[in-house]
Structure formats: structure tokens, C-alpha cells
Structure 1
Amino acid sequence: MPAEVDAGLALLSDQLILATVLLYVFAMIGYALDLGFGRSKVKARAVAEPALVTVGGGTAAAPPVSEESPAPAVKAPPAWATWAGPVAVGLSWLGWAANLGSILTRGLAVGRWPWGNMYEFVVAMCFAAVSAFLFMNLRYRIRFLGAFVTVAATLGLGFSVRYLQVQAGPVVPALNSYWVAIHVSAAIIASGLFIMAGVSGILYLVRKDTAVRLPSLADLDRVAHRAIVIAFPIWTFAVIAGALWADKAWGRYWGWDPKEIWAFITWIAYAAYLHARATAGFKGRAAMIVQLIAFACLLFNLVGVNIFLGGLHSYAEVPG
């Protein structure tokens, strides 16, 4: 390990990542129990009796329901199930704090912004996704997405630890720039929100009408749209900031590098979704499919380009 790296802080960062994964796993279990055994959001609806048709073609009032007839009983959830959701949210916040601590200690250990390689970027992106969920949950009460967001964050962190992790150390000179704090930070924030929208979109397409405990299609559509409306201008800023950084580093704003191309393709795809969403008659499932195509472009841009394609952005330090 390079001498300029604080080995103690680097080790602490790695340990906090493992703690983050465990906390997200326990939170995921809590959210799943809340979905499976908590109080259903579907309210009992009164079933109207059909009107009686008389011989003359008129209608007669249906016989009144006896006051002694019991209403359909709604089974109360187990006592422990009422705590599953709040406990899961609490564990998510603890995991969020551990995730933040791992990012900060990694940055302090190497004395730079802690997203100079693929491992650090994926860790920060998972943090952004959970942050988007937790803070949106404070405003919109979207706890029903907790199980799915924590699954995504757990898988992302597990993948980064297993396949992308590299020792803390210095980065190439091109990344020793204040533009990292501007361009990459904006990309991370937007990516976290896009992940929220992507999770909502996948649930939207696979949800069955009989899945009464899952969020409604309208709720999923609303969450995805709000997340993208916030994320799209941030991603736009990230693309512009990247062009400005490219001019400073390489003397040109645009060079048809694979990373630049796929960042722009992602921007076009999300712009197409927003346009489709605003167009009358092109909403619901069709618009959600466009959103998921954009999400696939995002994932390939963030991970696939660095692994499978070369170019000027090939300094991501993906282990062989």
C-alpha cells in the first residue's frame, strides 16, 4: 500500500462497507416482512347488490342488508409485523450512516475525493440510491419500495466488494482535479435517483393485479416520474461539466470517447421518456418501457463501458 495512504482509515472504510451490507440485508428482511405480513393498504370496499329487474322493465330496490350481517372481516396483522416497517427504516438509516462513513474514511485515507475508480464510484452510487429513497420517503411515504431499493444497494455493494475492490491509493493525474467534485458528484446524485426510478419501473412491469400488498401502478408511476424529473437536470449538468473538464484536460469538449457517447445516449433516452410521459396517450406501460431502456443505457454507461470498452475513461482500475 502506498506510503501516503492512511492504512488505518482505509481498513476502517472496508469494515464499514461490510457493516453497510449487513445492515441493508437486515433492513431488506424487515421491509419484506412489512410487505408480507403488515397491514394491507387495500381497503375493504362495499359490494353493491345488483338491482332487481321487474317484469315491466323497471328496477326494484335490492333487499336491504340486515344490520346483523357482519361486514367482511379484515385480518389484523401480527403484533410484531407492525414494527417491521419502522425497524427496517431505522436499519436503513444506520446502513446509510455506515455507507457515508465508508466513503468519508476512504477519502480521508487517500487525501482526495473518494470516487476515483469503479469500486469507489459504485459504493457512492449505492449510497446515492439509498439516500434518494430515504429522503423521498420522508416526503412521499414510499416505504413500500424499501425492500427493492435495499436489494439493489446490497447487490451493488456486494458486486463492488467481490469484483471491483482495489486498495486505497492515489489516482492518475487526470483525476486530481476539482472537476471530480463537480462532474462525478453530479453523475452520482443523478444515478441514485435514476436507480430509484428503475426499481419502480421494473416493479411496474412485473406487478400483477392480484398483488394487493405491492404498491399500485399509479404510485410506482408517480415515484419514477418524480425521481427522473429531479435527476434529469442534474444529469444534464453532469454531461456539460464533463465536456468542460474534457476541454481543460484534453483540449476539446467532445471526442467521441465511448463514455461520452453513452452518457449522451443516456441523456437522449431519459429525454425521450420525459417527452413520452408528457405526450397525451403515451403513458403507463409504454412510457415505463422507455424509462427502463434509458435505465439500461445508464447501467451500461456506468459499468459496462468501463469493463468492456476502452477509451480515455479506461482508468477506472477494474481488477482483472
Structure 2
Amino acid sequence: MPIDETLAQYSDFAFKSALVVYALVVTLLIWQYATARTQRLAEQEPAMAGGPVVRPTGPGRIVEPVGKPLSERLGNMAFSVLIVGAVLHILSIVLRGFATHRFPLGNMYEFVTMATAAATVVGLVFLREQRYRATWVFLLVPVLILMFLAGTVLYADPAPVVPALRSFWLPIHVTIVSIGSGVFLVSGVASLLFLFRLRQSEGNESGGPLGAIAKRLPDARTLDRLAYKTTIIGFPLFGAGVILGAIWAEAAWGRFWGWDPKETCSFIAWVLYAAYLHARATSGWRDTRAAYINIAGFTAMLFNLFIINIVISGLHSYAGLT
């Protein structure tokens, strides 16, 4: 069937709109942080000068209702706008599928779009509480970078997939892997923030911009639990994707496993995440060592996505810049 150019344009517009909305959310969250810090400094000045901080009230005194602080209003606004961005993000995927009359996972642009959408949705589930608002900045920045690369360097015009991908295994295998990759993005960011928060706490580096940023984040244990919970979800998803990919390979190429570069790197990433879960449950490895393994696993995922697909030639090369 011919490509529906109108729906394809709407898909691209929804994708670009989601990118702009996410950038707006990051701006609002940074503004929230700056406003909250200014407000705290203003509240500390009277106490440091020896002046009264709270004015007493007495009978007959009218107390005017106080609204929510600006920083809280900005945070609520950012979260509401974030939901709009996520809807646009998902809409771009759906419209791409209708425009091409196939499942929209036939090239790297579509894969990265799906993975970043999965990361955003997982974030909306796990980071919906007020205490996680500052964490969103660190999650959306890599999402924005990946979406920018997808919309520029990795972008592919809507077209039918190559014959090798015309299989019912495409929506099953690639969807599971892309969603698992999105979950691992949340987990990797959580481990990075855990190490950062732990370093600031143990080193008593409460001053300066880094200390101020650390104070806005949840405590280290909360971030560590977040990384662990999301990895527990992503690990079986990614493992199932690897197994289903092996079954597809047997049907397409006549063998389950051939140590193709992408297969090898996927296996290495899976082993690293298995090692992380094991280390997380082992005394003496639960803290920084386990977090470093988790970050190594996510690094292997990124290497598999970009270097293996673009630089190294293999049986999966058709899934690159096509």
C-alpha cells in the first residue's frame, strides 16, 4: 500500500511538538529549582539578621489565605505539560504506523522514538510523586538528546520495511526490546543520581551548586530502590526480547544464535544486568559497586544501539540508517 504522506507529516509534527514540550518542561523545572532556592534564601535572611520570622496573630486579626508557593506551582505546571508531551510522543508513533501501514519499528528513528516514549511513560509511573520532581530534569535531558538525534541524524522517511523485517515477529521482538531499553534508561539515570547523591552526602559537600542540586534530589536510598525496581521490570522484558529474537533468527536465518555483533552485545548487556541484580542482593556489593554495574549495562545498551547499528556491519545492519 502507498505511504499516507498526510499522516506521515502529522506524525513528524507530533514528534517535533513533543520535543518542544519536553524542552519546555525542563525549563519549568529549572525555573522551579531557582525559585525554590531564592525563596529559601529570602526566608533565611530575617533569621540570620536576628529579626522575626513568623508574625504572631491575635484575636480579631485577619489572616489572609496564602496560596501555593511559586516553585510548587511551577512543578505542578511542568508535570501537567509533561503529560501533554507524552501524549504527543505516543501519537507520533501511532500516526507513523498508520502512515506506513506497518508496525512503526522498522528503523533506528522509530526504535529510538519508541524507547524514549517508554522511558517517559515509565517515568510518569514511578516519578509521579512530588519528591521526584527534581529527578525529571535528569531523565528528560537524555530523552531530549536521543530524540534530537532520532529526528536529525537517524531520521528515515516513512517507507515499507525491507523484506527481512516483514514478519509477525517484528512487533513482538522489537517492541519488547525497545520498551526494555526505555526502562533501562530510567534505571541508569537513577543509579547515576544515586552515586551523585551518595558522594555529596558522604563527603559533606553541601555547599556550592552541586550541593544545592543534591539537596533537591531524593535521598540516596530512594534513588537506589528506584534503579532496582525499574531494572526488575526491564530485565525480564529485555531477556524475553533476546529469546524471541533468537527464535526469529532461526526462522529467518536457519540458526538460533550466530554471535552476530548485535546478538553478542545484547548478550553482554543482559549479563551485566543479571550481574547487577545479583550484586544488589549480595552483601558488600549493594551500594556503589552494584550501581556501577547497572551503569555499565546501560552503557552497553547505548553501544549496541549506536556503534553496533551504525559502525559495525552485521546481519542486523538493515536496522540502521535505512
In 1, the alpha carbon distance for the partners of 2:219 and 2:9 equals 43
Quick one: which of 132, 139, 148 aligns to 1:149? 139
Task: Normalising by structure 2, report the TM-score.
Answer: 0.84
Aligned-pair distance for 1:167?
Answer: 0.7
Unaligned runs of 5+ residues in structure 1 are 43-68
2:127 aligned counterpart, secondary structure? helix
1:164 aligned counterpart, secondary structure? coil
RMSD: 2.4
Runs of 4+ in 1 over 4 A off after TM superposition: 69-73, 138-141
In 1, the alpha carbon distance for the partners of 2:268 and 2:67 equals 47
Matching of residues 161-176 of structure 1 within 5 Å: 161-176=151-166
In 2, the alpha carbon distance for the partners of 1:308 and 1:201 equals 28
Aligned-pair distance for 1:249?
Answer: 0.7
Aligned-pair distance for 1:215?
Answer: 2.0
Instruction: Tell me whether 1:105 sits opposite 2:95 in the alignment.
Output: yes
2:274 aligned counterpart, secondary structure? helix
Task: Please name the residue that 2:246 is paired with.
Answer: 243
Task: Please name the residue that 1:66 is paired with.
Answer: none
Task: Please name the residue that 1:252 is paired with.
Answer: 255
In 2, the alpha carbon distance for the partners of 1:262 and 1:140 equals 37
Alpha carbons of structure 1 residues 237 and 72: separation in structure 2 relative to 1, 3 Å: farther
In 1, the alpha carbon distance for the partners of 2:156 and 2:134 equals 35
In 2, the alpha carbon distance for the partners of 1:198 and 1:72 equals 42
Aligned-pair distance for 1:80?
Answer: 1.9
Aligned-pair distance for 1:160?
Answer: 0.9
Task: Please name the residue that 2:311 is paired with.
Answer: 308
Task: Normalising by structure 1, report the TM-score.
Answer: 0.84
**Percent identity for Structure 1 against Structure 2:** 38
In 2, the alpha carbon distance for the partners of 1:205 and 1:304 equals 26
Instruction: Tell me whether 1:285 sits opposite 2:288 in the alignment.
Output: yes
In 1, the alpha carbon distance for the partners of 2:279 and 2:244 equals 27
Aligned-pair distance for 1:301?
Answer: 1.3
**Aligned letter for 1:163?**
V
Aligned-pair distance for 1:140?
Answer: 9.2
Aligned-pair distance for 1:123?
Answer: 0.9
Quick one: which of 291, 298, 301 aligns to 1:298? 301
Q: Is this contact kept in 2: 1:39–1:77, CA < 8 A? A: no
**Aligned letter for 1:34?**
Q
Instruction: Tell me whether 1:222 sits opposite 2:193 in the alignment.
Output: no
For the pair shown, the structure with the greater C-alpha radius of gyration is 1
Matching of residues 122-201 of structure 1 within 5 Å: 122-138=112-128, 142-201=132-191
Alpha carbons of structure 1 residues 291 and 71: separation in structure 2 relative to 1, 3 Å: farther
Aligned-pair distance for 1:206?
Answer: 2.9
In 2, the alpha carbon distance for the partners of 1:77 and 1:160 equals 42
Alpha carbons of structure 1 residues 140 and 263: separation in structure 2 relative to 1, 3 Å: farther
Aligned-pair distance for 1:141?
Answer: 5.9
1:142 aligned counterpart, secondary structure? helix
Task: Please name the residue that 1:273 is paired with.
Answer: 276
Task: Please name the residue that 1:27 is paired with.
Answer: 25
Alpha carbons of structure 1 residues 279 and 317: separation in structure 2 relative to 1, 3 Å: closer
1:93-138: CA deviation from partner (whole Å, max 9, x where unpaired): 1110101111011111110010100111111111011011002234
Alpha carbons of structure 1 residues 36 and 6: separation in structure 2 relative to 1, 3 Å: same
- The number of aligned residues is 288
In 2, the alpha carbon distance for the partners of 1:36 and 1:126 equals 27
Task: Please name the residue that 1:47 is paired with.
Answer: none
Q: Is this contact kept in 2: 1:36–1:213, CA < 8 A? A: no
1:267-313: CA deviation from partner (whole Å, max 9, x where unpaired): 00000000100001111111111111111011111222101111110
- Structure with a larger share of its residues in helix: 2
